Amino acid sequence: MFTGSIPALVTPFRNGKFDEVVFRAHVDRMIEGGSSAVVPCGTTGESATMTIEEHNYVMAVCIDQVNGRVPVIAGCGSNDTKVSLLHLQHAAKAGATAGLVVLPYYNKPSQEGLFAHYSYLAENSPIPILIYNVPGRTGSDISVETLARLSRLPAIVGMKDASGHIARVSAQRLACGADFCQLSGNDDMALAFNAMGGVGCISVTANVAPKLSADFQKACAENRYQDALVLQDQLYPLHSALFSDSSPAPVKYALSRLYPEFSSELRLPLVPPTEKSKALVDAALSHARLI
């Protein structure tokens, strides 16, 4: 259902407010660069610091700007199951293709709790759901066995895997079936992820290098792994630099370097990247021949 390079969109702020004009231009840039879908209101979009009203508005603006050109996978996660369902319902009403639902954070539910959370959403969601597993941020990790149970529910169509365990791609493929959509959540691991059966990446780097990221994913899809390796070498320092400080601080700094109108403003508790992080980003932008 979803393949290729899929930017996890940043949300630009200026003077504490959503910068809609810059965001709309950013969405266009992603599509023009060859992105196959977009994800608004995810972790990279600082959804954790948005009110529900802001969250829904940013989502709707994204869908409006995309205007049917590519699928929109709306960030709909919450540590409250009913709030997550409200996001899914709003996303469907606004015209989203699917919802990306992160494992409930802070609560640290058991495997049965995770199954209950996602099965409730699957039974009630008006749009398909992709599970987002990122243990480093949520404190929870979904097992292959629990994922296999959930994959049998028609509304659960795939996952964004940021577990960092490459071997799981094969384990999950065998457990959930070859048609279960596995998207990498780690840019630096996307080459190996795709070689083991993944079909794309929900990407931070694509915000900064949409065409290179799309070309990389296209090379993988066409089994041109030597070409993909060349692009991996070009992009790898950027993959690393964009996580040299708390994300999305480095990626917002990178965008401000490329586009003067793009503010690097963050919302607390996030703060600007360190000078060391900025230097790494600058060097990586140069290595990728973006500046």
d(CA 94, CA 89): 9
- CATH code: domain of residue 159: 3.20.20.70
- Does residue 288 belong to any structural domain of this protein? no
Residue 202 counted as an annotated binding residue = yes
- Does residue 262 belong to any structural domain of this protein? no
Percent of residues in the chain assigned helix, strand, coil, to nearest 5: 50, 15, 35
> Would you state the pLDDT for residue 1?
80
Hey, how many other C-beta atoms are within 10 angstroms of the C-beta on 260? 7
Active site residue 132: yes
* Number of domains making up the chain: 1
Which residue is catalytic, options 17, 57, 132, 278? 132
- Does residue 39 belong to any structural domain of this protein? yes
- Does residue 280 belong to any structural domain of this protein? no
pTM of the model: 0.97
Which residue is catalytic, options 118, 160, 218, 253? 160
pLDDT in 10s for each residue of the chain, 291 residues:
899 999 999 999 999 999 999 999 999 999 999 999 999 999 999 999 999 999 999 999 999 999 999 999 999 999 999 999 999 999 999 999 999 999 999 999 999 999 999 999 999 999 999 999 999 999 999 999 999 999 999 999 999 999 999 999 999 999 999 999 999 999 999 999 999 999 999 999 999 999 999 999 999 999 999 999 999 999 999 999 999 999 999 999 999 999 999 999 999 999 999 999 999 999 999 999 999
- Does residue 289 belong to any structural domain of this protein? no
> Would you state the pLDDT for residue 42?
96
- Does residue 283 belong to any structural domain of this protein? no
Do 169 and 183 contact (CB within 8 A), yes or no? no
- Does residue 242 belong to any structural domain of this protein? no
Helices (H) and strands (E) in the chain, counts: 12, 9
- Does residue 20 belong to any structural domain of this protein? yes
- φ and ψ at residue 235, rounded to 5 degrees: -95, -20
Structural domain for 24, as ranges: 4-222
Active site residue 106: no
